[in-house]
Structure 1
Amino acid sequence: MTTPTPGRPVRGSATGSPLMAALDLFGRRWSLRVVWELHEGALGFRALRRRCGDMSSSVLRQRLVELIEARLVHQTPEGHYALTPLGRQARTALSPLVDWSVAWAAELTEHAVEETPDLR
């Protein structure tokens, strides 16, 4: 599997538009989680794996390779993984989605209480 990049065909787009390439990259299992976990600073492989719920090491390695090829993550001289400036921009771009998800969860919780049938 190759790393999705703009200008090359990706899942859902024969043209590889930048948005479709980004959606393909972030749609891969664990990619967003890796970016999310690195937003507070660099982590070693084992620490990152623990932060990601002990995901399989082979999948983490593959995601790191893809994120490095996409220039969202880089490896520090100490061997840790960190977001690049582009990776930090991606994390910042996700902030509105985080805000929306909190509002969505609150809405669902509020309506779940209202709509719960009385089973007495």
Structure 2
Amino acid sequence: MSTDVPRPGQPVRGSKSGKPIMALFDLLGRSWALGVIWQLSSGPGTFRELQARCEGVSPTVLNKRLKELSASGLVMRGEGGYQLTDTGAELFDMLEPFGGWSTRWAAGLEAPQ
């Protein structure tokens, strides 16, 4: 497992003590981490399918994110390709309401002030 993967109890971006929430924020703040989780919420996919769903993320970045998310217990490789673990699906369930909120937020930004 890569030492670059944020781990609770270890120093991470924003926290020398590695509080669990800060380790999670470090992981999810990485390029395409949330995008991968969001895309896998609709079902498993092969590397190439996931790359297409993520609007052409580079193979290098996608590979790195998949390794980090797998090492963190959020993603696993199954029969249909990569998929969310139960823990990853639980995280998505908490993140999913941000989808509706972001749509309302975007509409508010477009409305005349």
TM-score by length of 1: 0.87
Residue matched to 1:47: 49
TM-score by length of 2: 0.92
Cα deviation 1:15-52 (Å, max 9, x = unaligned): 11111011100000000000000001110000000111
Q: For 2:29, give the aligned amino acid.
A: G
Residue matched to 2:107: 106
Q: Larger radius of gyration, structure 1 or 2?
A: 1
Residue matched to 1:29: 31
Per the TM alignment, residue 95 of structure 1 is displaced from its structure 2 partner at its CA by 2.0
Q: Structure 1: which 5+ runs fail to align?
A: 116-120
Per the TM alignment, residue 100 of structure 1 is displaced from its structure 2 partner at its CA by 2.1
Residue matched to 1:80: 81
Given that 2:47 and 2:82 are in contact with CA atoms closer than 8 Å, whether structure 1 keeps it comes out as yes
Question: Could you tell me how far apart the structure 2 residues matched to 1:83 and 1:74 are?
Answer: 6
Number of positions where the alignment pairs a residue of Structure 1 with one of Structure 2 = 111
Report the 3-state secondary structure (helix = DSSP H, G, I; strand = E; otherwise coil) of the residue aligned with 1:91: helix
Given that 2:44 and 2:80 are in contact with CA atoms closer than 8 Å, whether structure 1 keeps it comes out as no
Report the 3-state secondary structure (helix = DSSP H, G, I; strand = E; otherwise coil) of the residue aligned with 1:40: coil
Runs of 4+ in structure 1 off by over 3 angstroms are none
Question: Could you tell me how far apart the structure 1 residues matched to 2:33 and 2:93 are?
Answer: 15
